[in-house]
Amino acid sequence: MPNTKSAEKRVRSSARKAARNKSITSRVKTFEKKFVTQAAAGKVEDAKGALSAAISAYAKAAKGGVIKKKTAQRKASRLQLALNRAAAAPKAAKTAKA
């Protein structure tokens, strides 16, 4: 239990910030999951839109200080690589059949 008024205020403030951070983190994970499901299904065009939304969510989370900037960049890069692999997979399958 906080012993002073300022400590009580910090507890309230921390709770507000934690709720905001949790909400933003959850939002980012949701966009990432949407992208991963689209890419795994081979829906490249849909995955491109989902990738754009996911990268934007990562950038906004980093801007707000919810996640670190380099973490956001690394995850966005890995998602882009996943899209590139998914886009290349159908082309490789077509050339193998021919």
Q: pLDDT tens digits for the chain (98 residues)?
A: 889 999 999 999 999 999 999 999 999 999 999 999 999 998 999 999 999 999 999 999 999 999 999 999 999 999 999 999 999 877 766 676 65
CATH number at residue 45: 1.20.58.110
What angle is formed at CA 71 by the lines to CA 67 and CA 77, rounded to 5 degrees? 130
pTM summary value: 0.83
Amino acid at 48: K
Provide the number of structural domains found in the chain.
1
Show the domain range for 32: 5-97
Structure tokens at 87: 């886009």
Three-state DSSP at 66 gives: coil
